[in-house]
Amino acid sequence: MQQIKLIIFDWDGTLADSAAMIVGAMQRAIAALRLPARSDEAIRELIGLSLDDGLRRLYPDADVGHIRGLLDHYRAHWLAEGAGEAPLFAGGLDALRALHGDALRLAVATGKSRRGLDRSLAHHVEVRDLLINSRTADETAAKPDPRMLMELLADEGLRAEEALMIGDTEYDMAMAGAIGMPALGVTCGVHAPRRLLDAGAQALLEGVADLPGWLRMARRGAA
């Protein structure tokens, strides 16, 4: 951990407590569009993937392009009606400030769209102002492909071992592991601790709020 210069965070389930909001919005869309019913658990399972990848898994025999078009139309009405923005997990913003104060660079790699992430960051301005970079699923390859991490590293001129991925799903752990980047799992999100460990998490935290303390301990142990 002594050489870490960049910390990359997932958004939904890691920084933002958004799982219930995402599931609820998707269930309302499924009902409004009269799509075949899916369980809350089936939808939660796909948080972190791009929307297209999630739809392929939810409706493997359907025309994803058609469903995506319906959902985009529904989403436009939903947003126009003033849909809320998910809150940050408790202590997360203070943790980001502490990490930034320790001269660590902070970035986001998310399955959200660019429009979706920009909307979230416009609401959470304090987080936006601490970030030096971000990548979304619609502007590069979606998780678990590691391309978004590779692009962030290239932008910052860093090697994989100089960055640390923080996420709540096995998709986050898998994309980091694919390029030799260390990763920590947070258990406040959607995937169970065992799945995160099996996917390559080096350690588990309850949430981002615990990250500054964990890093201090890890660096003392390595000194």
Q: Which domain holds residue 109?
A: 6-17+88-222
> For the chain, what is the domain count?
2
Q: Domain boundary at 62, 80, 98, which?
A: 80
1 within some domain: no
Structure confidence by residue, pLDDT tens digits, 31-90:
888 889 999 999 988 888 888 888 889 999 988 888 888 777 766 665 555 567 899 999
Please report, for the domain that includes residue 143, its CATH number: 3.40.50.1000
- Token pair 């319906």 is found at 70
On whether both 178 and 191 belong to a single domain, the answer is: yes
On whether both 58 and 93 belong to a single domain, the answer is: no
On whether both 178 and 125 belong to a single domain, the answer is: yes
Ramachandran region of residue 34, left (φ > 0), alpha (ψ -120 to 50) or beta?
left
On whether both 61 and 117 belong to a single domain, the answer is: no
Q: Domain boundary at 80, 96, 113, which?
A: 80
Q: What is the pTM of this model?
A: 0.89
11 within some domain: yes
- Angle at which helix 211-222 crosses helix 92-101, to 10 degrees, equals 40
Structure confidence by residue, pLDDT tens digits, 84-132:
789 999 999 999 999 999 999 999 999 998 988 999 999 999 999 999 9
On whether both 12 and 113 belong to a single domain, the answer is: yes
Find the angle CA(213)-CA(214)-CA(220) to the nearest 5 degrees: 90
